[in-house]
């Protein structure tokens, strides 16, 4: 599904959060959003998701500009947002439709994929931070959404779990050709996953730079190519920082 933002701005009670964001995402593209904390990345994702309809400008999803939630969109929020009265299994099943047995089977697969096999019956309050985040990831991926909005999905995970789940994400993406918008602070992650990286700048956030990564997937983590991109991105961010401090 294609996704286009045109001059999107969002103001909260008089204070501007993002300004004039224009961005066009091709079907099946993975776009990364990078930027300092508070520059409006989550705000943009919320606008795309349709949960927030207070923005100005236009967001077009497959030709539709209505401010509404599309049920083909999956959203991993910045917090896990598990339903505390449901077990891990039921939380993952939550968004699924269809036969009960099918749903269970599918959910269990994804629970295993995120490394939580055997934890199906735990309640959210019994989970560690990273486990809760993984349940949220499973919940979003299990519905195989056509548009995936990810808000720092792997931030609370250790290096290896993170890599594993990044690969899981790529698997899902490959199978369902999802369009992905990924917010992350991990530049390695961005270079490993994204076709394009959009760097936001300032407060209110505006688009500063777009970097297109042409390297073929599967990419090699820590490859020289990616390292070059990383250095480039770091510099952009750093510049922004320097500017915003003065």
Partner 1 sequence: MAKSTGELTGVYIREHTKKKERNKKKKKQTEVVLLGSILPVLLFILWEFLSRQGVFPAYQLPAPSAVFSAILDMAATGALWEHISITVYRVFAGFLFGTIAAVLLGSLVGFYQKAEHIFDPIIQAFRSIPSLAWVPLFILWMGIGESSKITMIAVGVFFPVYLNLVSGILGVDRKLIEVGKMYKLTPLQQVRRIILPASLPSFFVGVRSGLGLGWMFVVAAELMGASQGLGYLLVLGQNTLSPETIIASIILFAFIGKSTDWLLKILEARSLYWQDRFAKT
Query: Which residue ranges make up the site for its own copies (CB under 8 A)?
Result: 12, 34-38, 40-43, 78-79, 115, 126-131, 133-134, 151-152, 155-162, 185, 187, 234, 237-238, 241
What is the rounded distance in angstroms from the CA atom of residue 44 to the CA atom of residue 22? Answer: 11
Instruction: Give the nearer residue to its own copies in terms of CB position, either 130 or 146.
Output: 130
Residue from 4, 6, 104, 123 that binds partner 1 (CB under 8 A)?
123
Binding mask 153-192 for partner 1 (x = CB under 8 A): ----------------------------------------
Burial class (CB in 10 A: 0-12, 13-18, 19+), 142: buried
Confirm if 4 and 47 have CB atoms less than 8 A apart. no
* 38 near Mg ion (CB under 5 A): no
Footprint on residues 131-150 left by ligand ATP (CB under 6 A): 131
Using CA atoms, how far residue 239 sits from 17, 197, 200, in Å, is 20, 16, 12
- The residue at minimum Cβ distance from ligand ATP is 130
Instruction: Give the nearer residue to ligand ATP in terms of CB position, either 37 or 214.
Output: 37
What is the rounded distance in angstroms from the CA atom of residue 81 to the CA atom of residue 140? Answer: 11
- Min CB(57)–partner 1 separation in Å: 15
Burial class (CB in 10 A: 0-12, 13-18, 19+), 18: buried
Parallel/antiparallel/unpaired status of strands 30-34 and 15-25: unpaired
Q: Which of 149, 198, 152, 148 is nearest to 173 (CA)?
A: 148
* 62 near ligand ATP (CB under 6 A): no
* 17 near ligand ATP (CB under 6 A): yes
* 11 near ligand ATP (CB under 6 A): no
Phi and psi at 232, nearest 5°, equal -60, -50
Confirm if 182 and 31 have CB atoms less than 8 A apart. yes
Q: In sequence order, what are the residues at sequence separation of 6 or more whose Cβ sits closer than 8 angstroms to the Cβ of residue 110?
A: 92, 138, 141, 142
Residue from 47, 48, 77, 152 that binds partner 1 (CB under 8 A)?
77
Instruction: Give the nearer residue to Mg ion in terms of CB position, either 1 or 203.
Output: 203
Binding mask 125-164 for Mg ion (x = CB under 5 A): ---xx-----------------------------------
What does the binding site for partner 1 look like in residue numbers (CB under 8 A)? 11, 13-16, 49, 51, 69-71, 73-75, 77, 79, 81, 83-86, 94-95, 118-119, 121-126, 143
């Amino acid at each position: 599904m294609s996704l286009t933002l045109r001059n999107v701005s969002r103001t909260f009670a008089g204070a501007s959060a993002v300004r004039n964001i224009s961005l066009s995402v091709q079907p099946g593209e993975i776009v990364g959003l990078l930027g300092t904390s508070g520059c409006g990345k989550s705000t943009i994702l919320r606008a795309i998701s349709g949960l927030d309809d207070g923005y100005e400008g236009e967001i077009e999803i497959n030709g539709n500009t209505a401010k509404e939630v599309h049920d083909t969109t999956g959203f991993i929020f910045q917090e896990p947002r598990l339903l505390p009265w449901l077990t891990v299994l039921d939380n993952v099943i939550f968004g699924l439709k269809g036969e009960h047995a099918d749903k269970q089977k599918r959910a269990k697969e994804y629970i295993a994929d995120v490394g939580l096999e055997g934890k199906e019956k735990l309640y959210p309050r019994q989970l560690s931070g990273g486990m809760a985040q993984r349940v949220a990831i499973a919940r979003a991926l299990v519905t195989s959404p056509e548009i995936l909005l990810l808000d720092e999905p792997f931030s609370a995970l250790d290096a290896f779990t993170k890599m594993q789940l990044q690969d899981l994400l790529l698997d899902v993406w490959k199978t369902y050709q999802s369009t992905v918008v990924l917010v992350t602070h991990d530049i390695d992650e961005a270079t490993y996953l994204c076709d394009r990286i959009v760097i936001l700048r300032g407060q209110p956030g505006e688009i500063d730079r777009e970097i297109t990564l042409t390297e073929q997937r599967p990419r090699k983590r820590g490859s020289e190519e990616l390292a070059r991109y990383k250095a480039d991105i770091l510099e952009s961010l750093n510049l922004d920082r320097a500017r915003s401090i003065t």
